[in-house]
Amino acid sequence: MDSIATDTSATNSSHLPAPILTLPNVLVRPYHPQDAASIATSANNPLVARYMTNAFPSPYTLSSAARWITIALTPPISHFALTLPTSPTTVIGGIGLKPGFDVHAHSAELGYWLAEPYWNRGIISAAVEAFVAWTMLERLDVRRVWAGVCGGNEASERVLGKCGFRREGVMREHVVKGGEVMDLSIWGLTRGDWEEREWERRKMEPESLSGEVNIT
Protein backbone atom coordinates (compact mmCIF):
# COMPACT_ATOMS: atom_id res chain seq x y z
CA MET A 1 0.00 0.00 0.00
CA ASP A 2 1.32 3.46 -0.83
CA SER A 3 1.75 6.23 1.67
CA ILE A 4 -1.45 8.05 2.48
CA ALA A 5 -2.13 11.02 0.26
CA THR A 6 -2.11 14.31 2.07
CA ASP A 7 -5.17 15.56 0.17
CA THR A 8 -7.48 13.73 2.63
CA SER A 9 -6.37 15.96 5.48
CA ALA A 10 -6.65 19.54 6.56
CA THR A 11 -4.27 21.53 4.41
CA ASN A 12 -3.13 24.22 6.83
CA SER A 13 -1.45 23.28 10.10
CA SER A 14 -1.65 26.70 11.78
CA HIS A 15 -4.97 25.83 13.46
CA LEU A 16 -3.72 22.55 14.89
CA PRO A 17 -3.17 22.03 18.61
CA ALA A 18 0.50 21.86 19.63
CA PRO A 19 2.03 18.40 19.92
CA ILE A 20 2.49 16.94 23.38
CA LEU A 21 5.44 14.95 22.03
CA THR A 22 7.80 15.80 19.23
CA LEU A 23 9.92 12.83 18.21
CA PRO A 24 12.20 12.39 15.22
CA ASN A 25 9.77 10.07 13.42
CA VAL A 26 6.35 10.98 14.84
CA LEU A 27 4.34 13.80 16.41
CA VAL A 28 1.76 13.10 19.11
CA ARG A 29 -0.90 15.82 19.26
CA PRO A 30 -4.52 16.29 20.31
CA TYR A 31 -7.08 15.60 17.60
CA HIS A 32 -8.77 18.39 15.66
CA PRO A 33 -12.24 18.24 14.03
CA GLN A 34 -10.57 18.58 10.62
CA ASP A 35 -8.74 15.28 11.16
CA ALA A 36 -11.80 13.19 10.28
CA ALA A 37 -10.86 12.59 6.64
CA SER A 38 -7.30 11.46 7.27
CA ILE A 39 -8.35 9.31 10.24
CA ALA A 40 -10.94 7.55 8.08
CA THR A 41 -8.38 6.99 5.31
CA SER A 42 -5.76 5.63 7.72
CA ALA A 43 -8.09 3.51 9.84
CA ASN A 44 -10.30 2.00 7.16
CA ASN A 45 -8.35 -1.22 6.78
CA PRO A 46 -9.39 -4.65 8.11
CA LEU A 47 -5.73 -5.41 8.88
CA VAL A 48 -5.60 -2.45 11.24
CA ALA A 49 -8.93 -3.34 12.86
CA ARG A 50 -8.16 -7.06 13.18
CA TYR A 51 -6.77 -6.99 16.73
CA MET A 52 -8.63 -3.91 17.95
CA THR A 53 -11.85 -3.97 19.97
CA ASN A 54 -15.17 -3.37 18.23
CA ALA A 55 -14.94 0.26 19.34
CA PHE A 56 -12.61 0.56 16.33
CA PRO A 57 -15.11 -0.05 13.53
CA SER A 58 -14.47 -1.77 10.22
CA PRO A 59 -15.32 -0.33 7.77
CA TYR A 60 -14.15 2.92 9.35
CA THR A 61 -16.15 5.75 7.85
CA LEU A 62 -15.97 9.53 7.98
CA SER A 63 -18.75 9.57 10.58
CA SER A 64 -16.88 6.94 12.66
CA ALA A 65 -13.94 9.35 12.65
CA ALA A 66 -16.10 12.36 13.55
CA ARG A 67 -17.63 10.43 16.47
CA TRP A 68 -14.18 9.39 17.66
CA ILE A 69 -12.85 12.97 17.55
CA THR A 70 -15.74 14.14 19.73
CA ILE A 71 -14.95 11.42 22.30
CA ALA A 72 -11.22 12.05 22.15
CA LEU A 73 -11.62 15.80 22.68
CA THR A 74 -13.75 15.36 25.80
CA PRO A 75 -11.62 16.35 28.82
CA PRO A 76 -9.50 15.04 30.37
CA ILE A 77 -7.87 14.48 26.98
CA SER A 78 -6.23 11.06 26.96
CA HIS A 79 -6.34 10.10 23.26
CA PHE A 80 -4.00 11.64 20.71
CA ALA A 81 -3.35 11.65 16.99
CA LEU A 82 -0.09 10.48 15.43
CA THR A 83 1.33 12.27 12.41
CA LEU A 84 4.61 12.37 10.59
CA PRO A 85 6.68 15.43 11.58
CA THR A 86 6.71 16.41 7.90
CA SER A 87 2.91 16.28 7.60
CA PRO A 88 1.21 17.32 10.86
CA THR A 89 -2.19 17.70 9.19
CA THR A 90 -2.41 14.03 8.16
CA VAL A 91 -3.33 11.60 10.94
CA ILE A 92 -1.62 8.23 10.42
CA GLY A 93 -2.51 6.62 13.74
CA GLY A 94 -3.60 7.06 17.30
CA ILE A 95 -2.43 6.44 20.85
CA GLY A 96 -4.29 6.84 24.09
CA LEU A 97 -5.15 5.82 27.59
CA LYS A 98 -8.37 4.44 28.99
CA PRO A 99 -8.41 5.06 32.73
CA GLY A 100 -9.68 2.30 34.98
CA PHE A 101 -12.45 2.92 37.48
CA ASP A 102 -13.37 1.89 41.01
CA VAL A 103 -10.45 -0.04 42.54
CA HIS A 104 -8.70 -0.02 39.14
CA ALA A 105 -8.67 3.76 38.93
CA HIS A 106 -4.87 3.94 39.29
CA SER A 107 -4.40 1.68 36.26
CA ALA A 108 -4.64 3.01 32.69
CA GLU A 109 -5.06 0.85 29.60
CA LEU A 110 -2.83 1.82 26.69
CA GLY A 111 -4.07 1.53 23.12
CA TYR A 112 -2.52 2.38 19.76
CA TRP A 113 -2.81 1.82 16.03
CA LEU A 114 -1.00 2.87 12.90
CA ALA A 115 -1.92 2.99 9.21
CA GLU A 116 -0.50 0.00 7.37
CA PRO A 117 1.86 1.91 5.01
CA TYR A 118 3.87 3.02 8.04
CA TRP A 119 4.26 -0.32 9.84
CA ASN A 120 7.69 -1.60 10.85
CA ARG A 121 9.45 1.77 10.83
CA GLY A 122 9.69 2.03 14.62
CA ILE A 123 6.94 4.64 14.82
CA ILE A 124 4.77 3.01 17.49
CA SER A 125 7.76 1.87 19.55
CA ALA A 126 8.96 5.49 19.69
CA ALA A 127 5.45 6.79 20.41
CA VAL A 128 4.78 4.27 23.20
CA GLU A 129 8.13 4.88 24.91
CA ALA A 130 7.59 8.65 24.95
CA PHE A 131 3.85 8.49 25.69
CA VAL A 132 4.44 6.30 28.74
CA ALA A 133 6.98 8.88 29.95
CA TRP A 134 4.41 11.62 29.33
CA THR A 135 1.81 9.63 31.27
CA MET A 136 4.09 9.08 34.24
CA LEU A 137 5.04 12.77 34.33
CA GLU A 138 1.64 14.31 33.54
CA ARG A 139 -0.82 11.86 35.11
CA LEU A 140 0.51 11.41 38.61
CA ASP A 141 -2.48 9.31 39.66
CA VAL A 142 -1.45 6.56 37.22
CA ARG A 143 0.54 3.84 38.98
CA ARG A 144 0.38 1.31 36.20
CA VAL A 145 -0.03 1.27 32.42
CA TRP A 146 -1.17 -1.95 30.85
CA ALA A 147 -2.20 -3.34 27.48
CA GLY A 148 -4.08 -6.41 26.34
CA VAL A 149 -2.79 -8.00 23.13
CA CYS A 150 -4.72 -10.56 21.11
CA GLY A 151 -2.97 -13.81 20.27
CA GLY A 152 -1.22 -13.52 16.91
CA ASN A 153 -0.42 -9.82 17.20
CA GLU A 154 3.34 -10.33 17.40
CA ALA A 155 4.17 -6.78 16.29
CA SER A 156 2.26 -5.31 19.23
CA GLU A 157 3.87 -7.72 21.69
CA ARG A 158 7.27 -6.77 20.30
CA VAL A 159 6.51 -3.06 20.75
CA LEU A 160 5.52 -3.52 24.39
CA GLY A 161 8.51 -5.74 25.15
CA LYS A 162 10.86 -3.16 23.63
CA CYS A 163 9.25 -0.43 25.73
CA GLY A 164 9.83 -2.22 29.02
CA PHE A 165 6.40 -3.78 29.57
CA ARG A 166 6.31 -7.22 31.19
CA ARG A 167 4.16 -10.00 29.84
CA GLU A 168 2.21 -10.79 32.99
CA GLY A 169 -0.09 -13.55 31.85
CA VAL A 170 -2.63 -14.80 29.38
CA MET A 171 -6.40 -14.73 29.57
CA ARG A 172 -7.23 -17.77 27.52
CA GLU A 173 -10.00 -17.45 24.90
CA HIS A 174 -10.86 -14.04 26.32
CA VAL A 175 -11.57 -12.39 22.96
CA VAL A 176 -13.99 -13.29 20.20
CA LYS A 177 -13.66 -10.97 17.22
CA GLY A 178 -15.51 -11.60 13.98
CA GLY A 179 -16.06 -15.21 15.05
CA GLU A 180 -12.34 -15.78 15.79
CA VAL A 181 -11.52 -16.88 19.35
CA MET A 182 -8.26 -15.41 20.63
CA ASP A 183 -6.23 -15.41 23.81
CA LEU A 184 -5.44 -12.03 25.37
CA SER A 185 -1.96 -11.50 26.79
CA ILE A 186 -1.65 -8.89 29.50
CA TRP A 187 1.36 -6.58 29.45
CA GLY A 188 2.05 -4.17 32.31
CA LEU A 189 4.48 -1.48 33.34
CA THR A 190 4.30 -0.03 36.85
CA ARG A 191 5.51 3.42 37.84
CA GLY A 192 8.35 1.67 39.70
CA ASP A 193 9.31 -0.27 36.54
CA TRP A 194 9.31 2.96 34.58
CA GLU A 195 11.42 4.84 37.13
CA GLU A 196 13.95 2.01 37.17
CA ARG A 197 14.07 1.96 33.37
CA GLU A 198 14.50 5.74 33.20
CA TRP A 199 17.26 5.60 35.79
CA GLU A 200 19.12 2.92 33.82
CA ARG A 201 18.61 4.81 30.56
CA ARG A 202 19.89 8.08 31.98
CA LYS A 203 22.97 6.30 33.36
CA MET A 204 23.67 4.66 29.99
CA GLU A 205 22.86 7.53 27.61
CA PRO A 206 23.07 10.83 29.47
CA GLU A 207 23.70 12.94 26.39
CA SER A 208 21.36 11.31 23.91
CA LEU A 209 18.43 11.93 26.25
CA SER A 210 18.62 15.68 26.13
CA GLY A 211 16.48 16.96 23.29
CA GLU A 212 15.35 13.48 22.25
CA VAL A 213 11.84 13.84 23.64
CA ASN A 214 10.15 17.20 23.81
CA ILE A 215 7.32 17.02 26.35
CA THR A 216 5.46 20.30 26.23
Instruction: Provide the residue count of the chain.
Output: 216
Nearer to ligand COA, 125 or 135 (CB): 125
Query: Does residue 158 belong to the site contacting ligand COA (CB under 6 A)?
Result: yes
CB of 109 to ligand COA, least distance (A): 10
Pairing assessment for the beta strands 144-150 and 27-30 based on DSSP bridges: unpaired
Instruction: Confirm or reject binding of residue 123 to ligand COA (CB under 6 A).
Output: yes
Sequence-ordered alpha helix ranges (H) in 82-190:
123-138, 154-162
Q: Is 51 in the site for ligand COA (CB under 6 A)?
A: yes
Give the interface segment with ligand COA, choosing from 16-24, 30-38, 60-68, 148-156 (CB under 6 A). Answer: 148-156
Query: Least separation, in Å, of the C-beta of 103 and ligand COA?
Result: 24
- Part of the chain binding ligand COA (CB under 6 A), chosen from 62-70, 71-79, 156-164, 177-185: 156-164
Cβ atoms of residues 215 and 137 within 8 Å: yes
- Written as one letter, the residue type at 25 is N
Tell me the window of 2-10, 45-53, 62-70, 83-91 that interacts with ligand COA (CB under 6 A).
Answer: 45-53
Contacts of 107 (CB under 8 A, 6+ apart): 99, 100, 142, 143, 144, 145, 146
Nearest to 134 by CA among 210, 76, 17, 214: 214
Residue 54 binding ligand COA, by CB under 6 A: no
| Closest to 62 (Cα-Cα) out of 43, 36, 82 | 36
Q: Which positions touch ligand COA (CB under 6 A)?
A: 48, 51-52, 112-114, 119-125, 147, 149, 153-156, 158-159
